[in-house]
Amino acid sequence: MRISRQCAIAGVGVTPQGKIYDRTTNDFAADAVHLALENAGLSLNDLDGMLIQPGLDGVLNMGFQNYLGVMDLRLFNYISSGGAGAGSMVQYAAMAINAGMCNVVACVYADAPLQKERSAGDAYKDRGVLHQPGGYTSLLSAFGYYGANSGYALATRQHMETYGTTEDHLGQVAVSTREWATMNPRAQQRKPMTMEDHHNSRYVVEPLHLFDCCLVSNGGVAVIVTSAERARDLKQKPAYINGMGQGHFGDSQRRGREPFIQTGLKPAAEMAYRMAGVGPEDIDACELYDCYTYTVIVSLEDCGFCAKGEGGPYIADGKLGPGGALPTNTGGGQLSGYYMWGMTPLSEAVLQLQGNEGERQVPNLNNVLVTGNGGVLSYHAALVLGAQPS
């Protein structure tokens, strides 16, 4: 059964993002769905499928159907693969539509971990994300290895020691991403950043500075997936789902595997390319999961834009920023835009393909690569979205 090119993302809804305290997680999710339907030119009555992903606060769950007031769904499920969840939801929605199970599916993510007078770090601690493990794994925490920051710091250090990647390379990712954010009214961080600003920001866990780490946001995002045929008759230009793939290497913590620098994104991207009939040379823009600056570097390598270990030198000329040869994270990503897990890169890809993004609109856009990453480089999803179903 042919899957690629048969479905498209017809609408996207992004709520206000950041330190917004007067809305609940379910409020954000409902607002995002309504915004996405409005963007597509559809109504709540058109929905017959919904996939949801809970955020850090864990509030969004199966009760959301009743909260939203949508009836008679033919597809409804709960997806949990961290930052890979957005790409996974789109893939499962496309497969279900292609199989005739349903016609219009909302893929929804929302989160509201931030509280007044509480830091982002406290938001994670409050939700148990930085809990102290027990048993064998407590040996790791005894040496300071727990939570995402230390995991990604270790991954970054391994890449540095193995290939010579530098803090200047990491800074180049942060600076180019911030350049895009200055042009995005939805972005949380719009103040221009220099390399000096990056280097002078405090260390969170060496070698990662504050500006190497993503934001924490309250908000919601939804996209509407339907058939390519139906999407062509709706309000916006469709973002055709031309290729998709997943890759989950796992980490047994045994010798002989290097999941920090040889990630599961490689097979995920290769599958997506193969399905779409394209290669890295055909990609006009990238929307890469950027929970940390290092994630962008290793993702570019595993997606075939450069050889393993060459990600740092590859981006040193500024090719990821405005006017560069490979526009990447054109809304500011998770580092400077907003942190909605895999929905951050996905939403920006759809907005770019709709073609209404003003001064940050990438011209002559046809193929966009979207990636998602969950855990500490543990779970991966990739999409190739196109302006045309080819």
Cβ neighbors of 48 (< 8 A, separation 6 or more) are 72, 73, 74, 75, 102, 103, 104, 105
Structural contact between residues 327 and 286, judged by C-beta atoms closer than 8 angstroms? yes
The b-or-e profile of 24-42 (16+ CB within 10 A means b, else e) is ebbbbbbbbbbbbbebbeb
The dihedrals phi and psi of 86, each to the nearest 5 degrees, come to -65, -50
Which DSSP string do the residues of 251-264 spell out, in sequence order? ----TT--TTTS-T
Q: What's the gap between Cα 149 and its chain centre?
A: 17
Query: Is 129:341 a contact under the CB 8 Å cutoff?
Result: no
Q: What is the DSSP letter of 114?
A: -
Residue 97 identity (one-letter amino acid): I
CA distances from 203 to 153, 289, 304 (A): 10, 21, 30
| Catalytic residue (one of 109, 124, 146, 289) | 289
Considering just the CA atoms, what is the radius of gyration of the chain in Å?
20
Contact 220, 340 (CB under 8 A): yes
| CA nearest to 206, candidates 133, 294, 286, 126 | 294
Q: What is the largest CA-CA distance in the chain?
A: 58
Pairing of strands 379-386, 75-78: unpaired
Per-residue 3-state assignment (H helix, E strand, C coil) for 188-220: CCCCCCCHHHHHHCCEEECCEEHHHECCCCEEE
Catalytic residue from among 124, 294, 339, 379: 339
Q: Is 339 a catalytic residue?
A: yes
273 is catalytic: no
Let me know how long the chain is: 390
Catalytic residues: 289, 339
